[in-house]
Amino acid sequence: MQVSITGRHLEVTDSLKAHVEEKISKLKRHFDHVTDVHVILGVEKMEQKAEATVQISGATLFAEDHQEDMYVAIDNMVDKLDRQIIKHKEKISAHR
């Protein structure tokens, strides 16, 4: 799994990068076929924004979140991605 992190109007510090990588690594516990993750962290009008595009086998998932704290925005974004991955996995495994 390759993780790329970019900052929009924001300098990505080592602690932010470590937090993102720690949270994104939890996505693999539900689905092993995560190939590429692109995370964009930014500031828009005094609001912290975290968005991510995840390439998995068979789909591309996108999630974003706006909060006053960047770490909370990252946590919420990863939770949204986690739910989407679980839903995608259930669709794949549901054979009728």
pLDDT in tens, the chain (96 residues): 889 999 999 899 999 999 999 999 888 887 778 889 999 999 988 899 999 999 988 789 999 999 999 999 999 999 999 999 889 888 888 766
pLDDT of 89: 85
pLDDT of 96: 62
Spatial separation of the C-alpha atoms in residues 33 and 55, rounded to whole Å = 9
pLDDT of 16: 93
pLDDT of 28: 81
User: 3-state DSSP call for residue 6?
Assistant: strand
Q: Which fold has domain 2-93?
A: Double Stranded RNA Binding Domain (3.30.160)
Largest CA distance in the chain: 49
